């Protein structure tokens, strides 16, 4: 029931330094899961991770699996994310590591198509 959890999270957060880009980036349409690369975990990741910020902050990141896993703890401890269930967390971290790992760095992509 990730979607329900995500919707229950606070939607209004004060502006934070690192989010400037995400908040000011022109997003003409509301995002939906297809903004993320297709694959196992696409929807779960989208609904768990887009409650507080746009997925731009994810799409421009390139972390190892260990770093993504650590980020889940940081998001819970420092940003108030509801802890993910173990199976969901594994699926989401696998998905993030596969699509947003160091080798699939968004920095290598055309920013105008991002």
Cα separations in angstroms, 1 against 18, 49, 84: 29, 14, 10
The token pair that represents 60 in the structure block: 């421009």
Q: Which one of the spans 26-34, 35-43, 68-76, 101-109 is the region binding ligand HEC (CB under 6 A)?
A: 68-76
Report if residue 49 touches ligand HEC, rule: CB under 6 A. Answer: yes
The DSSP call for residue 40 is T
Handedness of CA 113, 43, 84, 92 (dihedral sign): negative
Least distance in angstroms from the C-beta of 41 to ligand HEC: 10
Report if residue 97 touches ligand HEC, rule: CB under 6 A. Answer: no
Greatest CA span in the chain, whole angstroms?
A: 36
Least distance in angstroms from the C-beta of 28 to ligand HEC: 22
Which residues of the chain form contacts with ligand HEC (CB under 6 A)?
9, 13, 16-19, 48-49, 51-53, 57-58, 61, 71-72, 75, 79-81, 92, 96
């Amino acid at each position: 029931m990730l979607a329900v959890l995500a919707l229950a999270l606070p939607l209004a957060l004060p502006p934070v330094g690192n989010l400037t880009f995400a908040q000011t980036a022109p997003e003409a349409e509301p995002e939906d899961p297809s903004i993320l690369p297709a694959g196992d975990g696409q929807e779960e990741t989208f609904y768990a991770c887009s409650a507080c910020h746009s997925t731009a902050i994810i799409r421009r990141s390139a972390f190892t699996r260990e770093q993504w896993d650590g980020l889940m703890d940081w998001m819970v401890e420092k940003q108030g994310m509801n802890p993910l269930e173990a199976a969901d967390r594994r699926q989401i971290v696998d998905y993030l590591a596969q699509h947003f790992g160091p080798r699939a760095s968004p920095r290598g992509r055309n920013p105008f198509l991002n």
